[in-house]
């Protein structure tokens, strides 16, 4: 704290030309990245959309005006703004706005669990294949090619059909079908790094393969992985919604957005809001991830770090 006050406050500390410690350097880098994000209106809009998603999921009981599972058949298929329903009611008289708010929890859970599994596994496979080379690289990449040969949704459908319908199996299927892209990116990054002078120096000091991959190669691959992961989240949400739409994801009466669209498709001509409102939620959140991903690509691109 003394260090910050001596340099004229937190802002001056973050704008220092010469960092005084590794943690200070990381704080400066994070601050410069934040300034770039704020300076990019579309990327900042995507960030705000995702913040709104997190807040909706965290404070759903306080935001939603009604129980998402409570039925009121007397008010079924009420249009938006009537009967106290902000976005209308569905075929069972349930409040669509409340179901969308609580559905944000399911969407956030899917995104979080897939983000904690698929990129990590893909990073491990890609860096190990790229660093080891030889038959190990060939074997791992041919397995990766097999997964990439199938459309992601079709492959996810096959896994869910084998595992059984349900939100847990849907998340597992999405994670299994999402890792190959990260493996490809990590392998490409590793191939450009493994013969570098600093890797040779670390190897001469006696560092093992796992130590080199985890401590020296992984950090250099993370920026590309993070950008790809952010851009992939929109596809993951659409895949989860597709599984829910087909009845293979979250099961009724869970307020999952894809399942809500599936239930409302029979009313699309007359009661359009039943399917349109959850569809708009999917569109807005997917757009937010895409906008943020584009912004992060500009921020984390080393070629633009000097600009």
The string of pLDDT tens digits covering residues 29-66 is 888 878 888 888 988 999 999 999 999 999 999 999 99
Confirm whether 32 is domain-assigned.
no
- At 301, the pLDDT band (50, 70, 90 cuts) reads low
Confirm whether 263 is domain-assigned.
yes
Question: To 5 degrees, how large is the angle CA 221–CA 227–CA 230?
Answer: 135
Confirm whether 87 is domain-assigned.
no
Distance CA 245, CA 303 (A): 42
Classify 89 as helix, strand or coil. strand
- At 8, the pLDDT band (50, 70, 90 cuts) reads low
When computed from its CA atoms, the radius of gyration of the chain, rounded to whole angstroms, is 23
Q: Say if CB 127 and CB 218 are below 8 A apart.
A: yes
* Side-chain-side CA neighbours of residue 159 (13 Å): 24
Confirm whether 265 is domain-assigned.
yes
CA distances from 18 to 3, 14, 21, 24 (A): 13, 10, 9, 9
Query: Which comes out higher in pLDDT, residue 227 or 18?
Result: 227
Distance CA 214, CA 118 (A): 17
- At 166, the pLDDT band (50, 70, 90 cuts) reads confident
97-106, 199-208, 281-290: which range is least confident on average?
199-208
pLDDT of residue 203: 83
Domain of residue 127, CATH code: 1.10.3720.10
Q: What is the pTM of this model?
A: 0.85
Print the domain residue range for 217: 95-282
Confirm whether 53 is domain-assigned.
no
- At 200, the pLDDT band (50, 70, 90 cuts) reads confident
Task: Indicate whether 2 pLDDT > 60.
Answer: no
Query: Which comes out higher in pLDDT, residue 30 or 125?
Result: 125
Confirm whether 237 is domain-assigned.
yes
Query: Which comes out higher in pLDDT, residue 16 or 144?
Result: 144
Confirm whether 267 is domain-assigned.
yes
Residue 132: count of CB within 10 angstroms of its CB: 15
Number of structural domains the chain divides into: 1
- At 306, the pLDDT band (50, 70, 90 cuts) reads very low
Q: What residues pair up with 95 in beta bridges, in sequence order?
A: 89
Confirm whether 101 is domain-assigned.
yes
């Amino acid at each position: 704290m003394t260090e910050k006050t001596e340099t004229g406050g937190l802002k001056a500390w973050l704008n220092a030309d010469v960092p005084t410690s590794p943690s200070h350097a990381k704080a400066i880098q994070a601050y410069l990245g934040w300034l770039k994000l704020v300076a990019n209106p579309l990327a900042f809009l995507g960030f705000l959309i995702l913040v709104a998603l997190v807040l909706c999921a965290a404070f759903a009981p306080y935001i939603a005006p009604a129980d998402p599972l409570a039925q009121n058949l007397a008010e079924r298929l009420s249009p938006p703004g009537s009967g106290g329903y902000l976005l209308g009611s569905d075929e069972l008289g349930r409040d669509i706005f409340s179901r969308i708010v609580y559905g944000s929890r399911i969407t956030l859970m899917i995104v979080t669990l897939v983000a904690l599994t698929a990129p990590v596994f893909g990073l491990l496979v890609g860096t190990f294949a790229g660093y080891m080379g030889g038959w190990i690289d060939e074997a791992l990449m041919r397995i990766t090619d097999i997964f990439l040969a199938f459309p992601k949704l079709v492959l996810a459908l096959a896994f869910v059909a084998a595992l059984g319908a349900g939100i847990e199996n849907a998340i597992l299927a999405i994670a299994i079908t999402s890792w190959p892209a990260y493996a490809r990116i990590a392998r490409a990054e590793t191939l450009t790094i493994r013969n570098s002078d600093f890797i040779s120096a670390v190897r001469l000091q006696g560092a093992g393969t796992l130590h080199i991959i985890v401590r020296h190669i992984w950090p250099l691959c993370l920026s590309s992985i993070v950008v790809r992961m952010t851009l992939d989240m929109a596809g993951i949400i659409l895949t989860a919604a597709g599984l829910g739409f087909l009845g293979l994801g979250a099961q009724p009466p869970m307020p999952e957005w894809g399942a809500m669209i599936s239930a409302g498709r029979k009313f699309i001509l007359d009661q359009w809001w039943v399917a349109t409102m959850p569809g708009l939620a999917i569109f807005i959140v997917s757009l937010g991830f895409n906008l943020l991903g584009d912004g992060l690509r500009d921020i984390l691109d080393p070629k633009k770090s000097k600009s």
